[in-house]
Amino acid sequence: MAWLLVRLKLRLLGNALRSTTGAKVSFILSTIFAAAVAVGLFISLATLRHNGAAVDLTAVTFTTFAFGWLILPLLTFGLDATLDPATLALYPLRTRPLATGLLAASAAGAWPAANVIGDLGITVGLAHGAFAVFIAVIAVGLQVLFCITLARLVTTALAGLLRSRRGRDLAALALIPLFALYETFAQVIPNMAEKGSLTAASFTGIDQWLRWLPPGLAAHSVVDASTGHPATAIARLAIVAAVIVVLAALWARSLGRALVTADTSTQSAAVRGAGTLPFPRSGLRGTVAARFWVYQRRDPSALIVWAITVIVSVVVSVSSLRGQGNPLGGVLLSAGFGGAFVGVFHSNAVGITGPAFLFEALALPDRRALRAWFAGQDQALALIGVPLVIVIPFLLAAITGHPLNGFLGVAVGLAAVGAGLALSNLFSAWLPYPVEKRAGSPTPRAVGGYTGQALVGTLGSMIGVAILVSPVVVGVALTGSAASAIRMPALLAAGALWGFALSAAGVAIAASAAEGKLPELVQLAARSKL
């Protein structure tokens, strides 16, 4: 069974090279990036050989990769085209051989191989002597196996959890703090390294508890073997192996339960309250706004999107919050990223709507109706995005001790929201793509072969917002000597008017582009699997 599923995984990876051009490019880029990560990680760990904090840095590195294996499957359903257990539910397979086969298949691919090759750098950086090298190889194997087992346990548990509405909400809420921790860690460490404040002493405190986690145990076992404590090294590895066995047992149990549990997500539920939709007097635009507004409140994916927007807006200014950067720059950066992510996460409105777009398209016969459709969703998104770019800059400005910077951040944030909404409309009309939701992941992703369009939409929105808000940023820079009583209201008005103008222009251009390709948009939306 294990060898069969490994061959199936390898066949799926090989088929990517015979698929669409977008799938080929995505597969090749992913493989190249995996190879670069493997080489970079190996060299980084190998250069720690004469570093006094080698074991501390290795424990941090191992823990970071383990946390990455925990986070990424929640967003992309595993690494490198992980097999979906739901596709095997109808086959008469016993749980134990199926779990073993899926675990072996998860270990096949470019990213698991990159993890193994990169981690082997400890054979040079930590190991001293033949026995220590032997222990290091075993430690690497257990470290990678721990990462894969942990990732499979989380995704499979969510696969069962996501069968109900309450479960999807809980999964979304569970993902938010994990992403916040990971994003904060990913921002703090590079900033510390860039400023030279990352020294051996920086990890003294954190290693006191990291050393008792499985990644830390694996790293410290190599040091024990190198310093003449073989029994301690073997004991540490035995603990890691025991943890993996427990995780595997929990995974097998969760897998068996998920494959036989009835789907309850379509069962009827009692309606707690009834009433008219919001925006009842705004015609088609109000109807679209009402639909988007309801889903922003009820869809777990929307909850994740807005939470990530808030997290990124705060985390990008972490250096300012720690008193190590320009306070005004941090506030402006936070506001700009907030507006940009509003566009990034909504730059595929047609694909995210899915097959339901067919019924909406029946009410969009001309350019005027399409303008109302795009304007309606902008109205709903602005009801959330605008308050965020008002509250967050003021909070950050107050924390950094320069409350007046909040007005400047709001000016940039309002322009950024307008730019983000404009670009989201343009990419929704120009480069739409179908999306899919897979068991174990609360967020949709691009269907195979359309990863390139998703990447273009993300990068295009980020770069486009940076360019479009530059006039407001320049205005902030050039009016530094003006009186605050005049400067703040003028910049706020300019940012709001510029953002509104950008949003209106995006609606008009997107409606004009979508008018001539409405049948194509319907076909793409119909391919979404939500």
Amino acid at 201: A
Residue pLDDT, tens place only, 446-491:
887 787 788 888 889 999 999 999 999 999 999 988 898 999 999 9
| pLDDT tens-place string over residues 355-376 | 989 888 988 989 999 999 999 9
Quickly list DSSP for 368-416. HHHHHHHHHHHHHHHHHHHHHHHHHHHHHHHHTT-TTHHHHHHHHHHHH
Euclidean distance between the first and final Cα of the chain, in Å? Answer: 31
Query: How high does pLDDT run on average in the chain?
Result: 82
Whole-angstrom Cα distance, residue 246 to residue 146? 10
Quote the CA–CA distance of 527 and 529 in Å, as a whole number: 6
**pLDDT greater at residue 17 or residue 70:** 70
C-alpha separations of 440 from 5, 8, 254, 403 in Å: 19, 20, 12, 43
What is the pLDDT confidence band of residue 199, given thresholds at 50, 70 and 90? low
Mean pLDDT, residues 322-346 taken together: 85
224-228, 272-276, 283-287, 468-472: which has the minimum mean pLDDT? 272-276
Cβ neighbours, 10 Å, residue 403: 13
Would you call 345 exposed, middle or buried from its count of C-beta atoms within 10 A (0-12, 13-18, 19+)?
buried
Q: Of the candidates 346, 353, 366, which has an alpha carbon nearest to the alpha carbon of residue 526?
A: 353
Q: What is the pLDDT of residues 70-111, one digit of tens each?
A: 776 655 544 444 566 666 667 777 777 878 888 888 788 888
The residues pairing with 445 across neighbouring beta strands, listed in sequence order, are: 436
Element (H, E) at 245: helix 230-260
> Do the bridges between strand 435-436 and strand 445-446 make them parallel or antiparallel, or are there none, so unpaired?
antiparallel
pLDDT in tens, 25-76: 767 777 888 899 899 999 988 988 877 778 888 888 898 888 888 776 655 5
Q: Which residue has the tokens 């090749």?
A: 28
pLDDT digits (tens, 9 = 90+) for 230-258: 999 999 999 999 999 999 888 888 777 76
- In order of 58, 124, 198, 514, the CA distances from 47 in angstroms are 11, 8, 16, 54
User: 309, 179 in Cβ contact below 8 A?
Assistant: no
Phi, psi (rounded to 5 degrees) for 445: -140, 165
Q: Per residue in 479-511, pLDDT tens?
A: 988 898 999 999 999 999 999 999 999 999 999
Closest CA to 57 of 216, 282, 209: 216
DSSP 459-493: HHHHHHHHHHTHHHHHHHHHTTTS-HHHHHHHHHH
Which amino acid is present at 475? G
Please state, in angstroms and rounded to a whole number, the distance separating the CA atoms of residues 469 and 461: 12
Instruction: State yes or no: pLDDT of 143 exceeds 70.
Output: yes
Among 55-59, 145-149, 276-280, name the one with the lowest average pLDDT: 276-280
Task: Provide the 3-class DSSP secondary structure of residue 226.
Answer: helix
Highest mean pLDDT among 182-191, 394-403, 405-414: 405-414
Give CA separation, 381 vs 376, 420, 427, in Å.
Answer: 9, 10, 16
- pLDDT of the residue at 78: 40
Interacting residues of 470 by C-beta distance below 8 A, sequence separation 6+: none
Kindly state the tokens that stand for 448.
């195979």
The predicted pLDDT at position 496 comes to: 95
